[in-house]
Amino acid sequence: MYIDDKLTWSDHITNLEKTISRSVGIFFRIRHYLNERAFKSLYFSIVYCHLQQAVGAWGGVGKTSLRRLNALHNIIIRAMTYSSFRSKLDPLYKHLNLLKVDDIYKLEIGKIMHKMHAGNPPDNFKQFFTPLNQIHSYATRSATRGAFFWQAAENKYGKRSLKHLGPKIWDCIVLPCMSFPHLHSKNVTETA
């Protein structure tokens, strides 16, 4: 991992682009010899491990900084599916059951927020997020379901920060899960 003096992560992202760029050629050369399962195994061992490494730190940079990395990742996905460069990407990611770079970042934030909710956050995040039930004593829907206080974001960098995106992503995870009665009733019986 490369850290520069201004924490722009540009050196790390450039190195990551070089690593992924080398993988593009590999995927195109061997795609006629592998089935989808072997392709995915190769993807996780060569590409995904690099994308996932410390993505919670560098994934919040602006979309412009990630443009080339996203393009390289998309090329690999198209190589895995034998698709043309004009084909839509969402169906390809869905077919392969893989995540885009931004979704990998959101997944890592979701994992951090789950640890916060479960009461075992990483040491450096213990004071980072505040549950809503500690902000006020009202029994609002957000406070009773375990939501966290959203840090205000004044610019585009703030909106991609962990303090702002963490509670937002947690709300997107918790709300759909609350609509499944069998999940909710299982939790109630376990705690009783």
pLDDT mean over 17-40: 91
Contact 13, 69 (CB under 8 A): yes
Q: Does pLDDT of 186 surpass 60?
A: no
Strands (E), the chain: none
Look at residue 19 and tell me whether its pLDDT is greater than 90: yes
Q: What is the pLDDT, as a whole number, of residue 183?
A: 43
What is the Cβ-side half-sphere exposure of residue 64, based on CA atoms within 13 angstroms? 3
Please say whether the beta carbons of 101 and 51 come within 8 A: yes
Q: How confident is the model at residue 5 (pLDDT cuts 50, 70, 90)?
A: confident
Residue 110, pLDDT > 50, answer yes
pLDDT at 77: 94
Q: Residue 97: what pLDDT?
A: 94
Predicted confidence (pLDDT) per residue in 116-144, tens digit: 877 787 777 777 777 766 676 766 656 55
Which of residues 147 and 29 earns the better pLDDT score? 29
Rounded Cα distance between 166 and 110, Å, is 7
The residues, ordered by sequence, that sit 6+ positions from 63 with a Cβ below 8 Å of its Cβ are 102
Least Cα distance to 54 among 119, 112, 120, 118 occurs for 112
**How far is residue 129's CA from residue 135's CA, in Å, rounded to a whole number?**
11
Torsion of CA 171, 176, 177, 181, to 10 degrees: 140
More confident residue, 66 or 192: 66
Please write the tens of the pLDDT for every residue from 167-176.
777 777 765 6
pLDDT at 68: 95
Beta carbons of 78 and 87 less than 8 angstroms apart: yes
**What number is the average pLDDT over the span 14-30?**
92
Where are the domains positioned within the chain? 10-98, 105-191
Q: Residue 68, SS3?
A: helix
State pLDDT tens for residues 31-46. Answer: 889 888 999 999 999 9
More confident residue, 15 or 136: 15
